[in-house]
Structure 1
Amino acid sequence: MYKSLSPSVKSSITKSISKNFEKYMAQIEWKEERFQLTDFMDTWKAYIENESKWYKQVPQEVKAAPEFHESIAEKINQTIDRVLKEPPSEEQVARIEIRQETLHTSFDYACRAEADFVERKLNSIKSN
């Protein structure tokens, strides 16, 4: 079922997972102990049903098929894994470390998406 979708729809699905995972993680400030898969799935479901364009392009019989849901679950796992394994760039690390030294902070970050969050947070802090 999933494999029969157009490449653009499959790409949109992946982007929506990634975008919403990063948004959800920012909402919980990347605190792993606060992560709840059901909460993330609720936010992603609300997004695809109310905002995404690709969801309307998927036929109702495909959406109802258990195979489709299994494929989506697998795609969610793959996408989250990819997001968590993508390292921050050297430039990003340098910017964050300089800003943390200036602000006397020590935020940890393990991936590019979390580093994006930390960088935004640091940029919102006023220097003394």
Structure 2
Amino acid sequence: MENVLLIVLLLLALALIGVVLLQRSEGGGLGMGGGGGGAMSERSAATAMTKLTWIFGIAFMAVSLSLTIISARNAEGTSVMDRIGGAAAPAAAQGDGEIDTDALLPPPTAEEDAPLVPRAD
């Protein structure tokens, strides 16, 4: 179900981008372009592109919200560290509060070839 909603979300995002880019510029964006021409007094008619933008925007938000609810329901009671497993799992599996230090690397000793630290001259 999540995969289907993710694909629908992707298609809605692409459609929303396309519809917004196809719309006619109002001329007032970023302080560029001609005068308002009564933009404050006249109510512009809602074109089909504007209605389509609203429909795609509302659908995008609804699908995003439903994906959030589904993923929160699926992740209930689990941790990311529980899913990873790997190196952190043996230390967490002990359960006595102690860290398993056998798997950790010891610090380098003085006689080993330690990496040189750059000097600030």
TM-score (norm: length of structure 2): 0.29
Larger helix fraction of residues: 1
TM (norm. structure 1) is 0.28
